[in-house]
Amino acid sequence: MANADCIILMGGNMAEAHPVGFQWVTEAKARGARVIHIDPRFTRTSAVADRHIAIRAGSDVVLLGGLVNHVLTHDLYFREYVVAYTNAATLLGEDFRDTEDLGGLFSGFDPRTGDYDPSTWAYAHPDGRVESTGGEEHGASASARAAGDQHGSGGPALEHSTVLRDDTLQNPRTVFQVLRRHFSRYTPEMVRDMCGITLEEFEYLARSVTENSGRERTTCFGYATGWTQHTLGVQFIRTAAILQLLLGNVGRPGGGIMALRGHASIQGSTDIPTLFNLLPGYLPMPSAGLHDTLADYLEEVASPTQKGFWAYADTYTISLLKAWFGDAATADNDWAYDYLPRLNGPHGTYQTAMDMLADKVEGYFVLGQNPAVGSANGRQQRMAMSHLKWLVVRDLNLIESATWWKDGPEIASGELRTEDIGTEVFFLPAATHVEKAGSFTQTQRLLQWRHQAVEPPGQAESELDFFHELGRRIRERLAGSTDERDRPLLDLTWDYPLDEHGKPDPEAVLSEINGYHVTGPDAGRNLSSYTEMKADGSTACGCWIYTGVYAEGHNLAARRVPNGGAGIAQTEWGWAWPADRRILYNRASADPQGRPWSERKKYVWWDEQAGRWTGSDVPDFPVDRAPDARPDPDLGGAEALAGDDPFIMQSDGKGWLFAPTGLVDGPLPAHYEPQESPVRNALYPQQQAPARVLFPREDNLGAPSADEPGADVYPYVFTTYRLTEHHTAGGMSRWSPVLAELQPEMFCEVSPQLAAERGLETGGWATIVSPRSAIEARVLVTDRMRPLRINGREVHQVGLPYHWGVGTDAVVSGDAANDLLGVALDPNTQIQESKVASCDVVAGRRPHGEALLRLVRDYQLRAGATVGTDSARITDPARETVEPDPGDDEQGSVWHTRW
């Protein structure tokens, strides 16, 4: 980021929520970079940016699509880069139909299920048939395992990498022409009408981005949950990815799209996942029925005849099984593949909560999160936990998720009575980050080792100690069991070396994650690179993308040379996955002939004399593959990568402007309004994202959208966010007096105009009402919020930080903003839409007890909110075409329940 010439911060509030990482923006700015912040609110990020551009929450695809259209229509794209490194020249199959053809839908939509069948999105096949896209999986099952976020370290599988190309980009079936047509309606005027951004602001933004892209310059994007937490969050990021690829800003210093992660190791917890749908290193969790054998599974992960390093997924998977099950994993039992659990549906946090309400879940571990405050529709979460038999909360403090049964909002409203709750709640104190050793993986995929500074107080212990001990006790209890069901637990390798206190050594875990040789002359030696892994059981590895962090037994994550050493890549600080590469796909920092695009942006290049790639970073490419090499694509794997295929984890070696597979809600981004919105979608007849995940339930009612009757009952848009002073749901900050005093009370931020409309004043109280709940907050009236003109009418936005919760143990408490949110999810990731919803605001404090429930109910009745509200898959069947016809009669059925 420090090397960027222009930084666009959008869908995030970097200075406030990522202040430490913001040092790189500050540095870029000191070197002369232009920084633009695009956000519904003027925040602390805006305060130090060159310019703030206010945007209506949830309209980001319109703005980014407008930029894509601007770049295409004014021929401002980086042609040489686009032709050589992206799939712009690739031809699509004949059957693909765009939103332009079908009134806002892509081909393959099934309105009965709300799923896409992606088979028509495929590349054209050289012999005329349509490329099969890695199995025939239907959108429903792909969404059920949140398949979209299983590509955290590279793209999805294609059967192989032979494609048809038109390097002139003229063929109407090239991705380039499809893109041009698709984005043609994203005009500056559309941006003005849908985002509330003036033509002048758009022009400034477009000029800033395009003038700071190309050979000599690079532009970088940074985003956070303002992009991800939407029903089409993945498509927000896709739009930015398309723009950055068109401008040649990927794989180069100062380019890219930075996912600003919200906690110290949120990146780490997707790499080595705490997610239901992933195994370490972005290997998917197997699904029942789809992946019954290891062969089925491996075929799904990657075809051996596709290009790039996913083709060796068998070595990664079998090494993982060897790391977990040791000697019990043999060739004869498919390396204990059957020990892995199978998915039989979506088991995300929201579906799990609803399963609790249906009494399908008995016990629940809550670790490092506070769902009673931090999850959307908090009431639903708390009611769900009241159905459990047991609940374990491990945290630093007695968070609201551990105390809802005695002092939660439902106790106050009379919906729950403590004596009626059968849930047995265990609170286990946890060690803080300074009380345990381990690694954090941050935004840049950098692993940074943390040494233990002090012993944890009292009974507090680290996650490692806790789970090690839990595993030890369970295995002790199961010892001697002959039940097949217990074999996976008993066969787990659970033999970490213990220190004098009987605690496992964290570095031993890192060593296992890194991987080692199991047999052969090097047995016991750590692996240096994932390319050393074998599929014959001779290597073990806990997470293939982390291989090398513990090469030769050295903890490279613990490197701490000040400023990372002399080079631009700061290679002597920590360790970056994969293979210590600081910039991914850095082959793209050189031109197709292997020369730097410019002296100024020189990074990795081809050294003709040495016959190798060299430069400031570890080349993200087969190091001796010459730029002009054109191996047979059918070789498969890294061997098939041509010298100009920089995107080595993509199955065709190219950056994907168009995603022929891998996404469940469309191969290109299209703007749809949020689940709840006072605005009619002006782009397409389709109002909401057709493939979004819905939960039409009485405890999850929605506000009527756009011009539907009752929409004026909840006339305002609200958005939720974090403040620097607090940490997410408050578990780490509201119990700290010196942090609590900095932002002591829940508040809402409103514009002077809205304040006048509703009689609000700074320091006074406001009640914010949604179809789920009503909360109270102190009021800050500020010019940092301003109404936007959308489609000719004024739209007010209300800002709500979400750090407070109702309880009695914290230094400060207050109503929780997330109680206002409903649950509607992005089908790619199962992430909730928590950055935009509808509400009403009235002056004064909220009622208490039963009166609060009555208030919420009255609003629902006035708005006519039912389980059918906002639940239609197709907004206007008369103007939208479903193609191909799914061949059944129930077309256009409303509020179909997916799960």
Partner 1 sequence: MGQLSGPTDPTADAGWPADRPRKGFFTDTSICIGCKACEVACKQWNDNPRDGDLELTGMSYDNTVSLGASTWRHVAFVEQGAEQIAQARRSGRALVDLGMPTVRSAAPSPAPAPAGGTPPDVAPVDTTPPDTPEFRWLMASDVCKHCTHAGCLDVCPTGALFRTEFGTVVIQPDVCNGCGTCVAGCPFGVVERRSDGTAAPTTREGQRKGEQPPVPKRGVAQKCTLCYDRLLDDEIPACAKTCPTTSIKFGDREDLVAVARERVAELHAQGMTEARLYGANDRDGVGGTGSVFLLLDEPEVYGLPPDPRVCTTDLPEMFRRATMAGVGMLAGAAIAFLAGCR
Q: What angle, rounded to 10 degrees, do the helices at 188-195 and 199-211 form?
A: 120
Q: Angle of helix 400-407 relative to helix 378-385, nearest 10 degrees?
A: 80
β strands within 587-672, DSSP E: 604-607, 612-615
By beta-carbon proximity to partner 1, the closer residue of 161 and 397 is: 397
Binding site for partner 1 (CB under 8 A): 5, 15-16, 19-20, 22-23, 26, 29-34, 42, 44-48, 50-52, 217, 599-600, 723-725, 735, 737-745, 747, 762-763, 778, 780, 782-784, 808, 810-812
Residue 680 or 758 with smaller CB distance to partner 1 = 758
- Tokens linked to 883: 């193609």
Q: Shortest Cβ distance from residue 2 to partner 1 (Å)?
A: 11
666 within 8 A of 178, measured Cβ to Cβ = no
Helix (H, G, I), strand (E, B) or coil at 605: strand
Give the residue from 532, 549, 540 showing the smallest Cα distance to 438: 549
On the 0-12 / 13-18 / 19+ scale of CB atoms within 10 A, 482 is exposed
Shortest reach from residue 881's CB to partner 1, in Å = 45
* Nearest distance from C-beta of residue 767 to partner 1, angstroms: 16
Q: How far apart are CA 290 and CA 137, in angstroms?
A: 8
Nearer residue to partner 1 within complex by CB, 341 or 737: 737
Nearer to partner 1, 528 or 724 (CB): 724
Containing 839, the helix (H) or strand (E) segment is: strand 837-843
Please state whether beta strands 34-39 and 6-10 pair in parallel, antiparallel, or not at all (unpaired): parallel
The nearer residue to partner 1, 204 or 899, going by C-beta atoms, is 204
Rounded-to-integer distance, Cα 327 and Cα 304, Å: 27
Closest separation between CB of residue 469 and partner 1, Å? 28
Nearer to partner 1, 61 or 785 (CB): 785
What is the longest distance spanned by two Cα atoms in the chain? 80
Contact 199, 70 (CB under 8 A): no
Q: Which is nearer to partner 1, 15 or 421 (CB)?
A: 15
- Count of residues in the chain: 899
Closest among 460, 593, 477, 528 to 81, alpha carbons compared:
593
Give 499 or 783: the residue with its C-beta nearer to partner 1: 783
Taking the complex as a whole, how short is the minimal distance between the CB of residue 725 and partner 1, in angstroms? 6
Nearer to partner 1, 21 or 256 (CB): 21
Nearer to partner 1, 51 or 487 (CB): 51
Nearer Cβ to partner 1, position 367 or 780? 780
Alpha-carbon distance values, 770 to 104, 630, 631 (Å): 29, 59, 59
Give the gyration radius of the chain's Cα atoms. 27
Whether residue 820 contacts residue 841, with contact meaning beta carbons closer than 8 Å, is answered with no
- Between the two ends of the chain, the Cα-to-Cα distance in Å is 42
Q: Establish whether the linkage from the previous residue to 884 is cis, with ω within 30° of 0.
A: yes
**What phi and psi, each to the nearest 5 degrees, are found at residue 441?**
-115, 125
Q: Which is nearer to partner 1, 24 or 297 (CB)?
A: 24
- Least distance (Å) between residue 156 CB and partner 1: 37
| C-alpha angle 256-63-98 in degrees, rounded to nearest 5 | 90
DSSP letter assigned to residue 398: -
Minimum Å distance from CB 203 to partner 1? Answer: 14
Q: In the bound complex, what is the minimum distance in angstroms from residue 564's beta carbon to partner 1?
A: 16
| CB 220, min distance to partner 1, A | 13
Phi, psi of 116 (to 5 degrees): -100, 140
Residue 738 CB, nearest approach to partner 1 (Å) = 5
d(CA 812, CA 733): 9
Q: Please report how close the Cβ of residue 844 comes to partner 1 at its closest, in angstroms.
A: 16
* Shortest distance (Å) from residue 255 CB to partner 1: 14
Nearer to partner 1, 624 or 794 (CB): 794
User: Closest distance between partner 1 and the C-beta of residue 811, in Å?
Assistant: 3
- Neighbour tally for 352: CB within 10 Å: 17
Distance CA(667)–CA(669), nearest Å, equals 7
β partners of residue 428: 394
Which residue has tokens 């540095």? 27
**Smaller CB separation from partner 1, 94 or 745:** 745
CB 116, min distance to partner 1, A: 42
